[in-house]
Amino acid sequence: MAGSAAHASLEHFAFGDSPATADALLALVLEGKKTATCWAAIQGLKGSELGARYVVLDGAARPRAIIESTELVQRRFDEVDPTFAAEEGEGDLSRAHWATVHEDCFTREGTYAPDMLLWCERFRLIEIIGEGADQ
């Protein structure tokens, strides 16, 4: 499999808070629609650092892509701009949709506040691995 040796030493993670969400968000990455993500700053950096590469897992915890962090900044929830919201790649790409989806997610985590601090990360797709990868 392409990249299997290369990705063995990289940090692995899945987007979202369920297998279904992980699969849906991974699909957006693979399609080139999702190039950004965020999480509650109180969770820390979660191993992220600028320029680092990570393996993205699908909902069954299988390696599917390698991404590289291109920007990592802290921003308040209520200060996320429409450009970043669109780069998250979800729904109609609007800031309003982003806010609704992320408020729901952070509420489930017990971290939501309108002025909560987030880590906002932009990334680029380096390689598709596993299903759908060019052999």
Q: pLDDT tens digits for 31-88? A: 999 999 999 999 988 878 999 999 999 999 999 999 999 999 999 999 999 999 999 9
Q: Quick check: is 89 in a domain?
A: no
Q: Quick check: is 10 in a domain?
A: yes
Q: What is the amino acid identity at position 7?
A: H
Q: Quick check: is 134 in a domain?
A: no
Tokens of 27: 């699909």
- Give the chain's end-to-end CA distance (angstroms, integer): 7
User: What's the total number of domains in the chain?
Assistant: 1
pTM: 0.89
Q: Quick check: is 55 in a domain?
A: yes
Q: What is the amino acid identity at position 6?
A: A
H helices within the chain, ranges in order?
A: 4-7, 19-30, 82-87, 95-109
How many other C-beta atoms can be found within 10 angstroms of the C-beta atom of residue 88? 24
Tokens of 87: 């780069």
Q: Quick check: is 36 in a domain?
A: yes
Provide the residue range defining the domain that includes 27: 4-76+117-128
Percent pLDDT > 70 in the chain is 92
Question: For residue 90, which of 79, 78, 101, 82 has the smallest C-alpha distance?
Answer: 101
Report the CATH number that the domain containing residue 21 is assigned in CATH: 3.10.400.10
Q: Quick check: is 87 in a domain?
A: no
Question: For residue 35, which of 79, 89, 92 has the smallest C-alpha distance?
Answer: 89
Give the model's pLDDT for residue 7.
80
Q: Quick check: is 52 in a domain?
A: yes
Q: Quick check: is 104 in a domain?
A: no
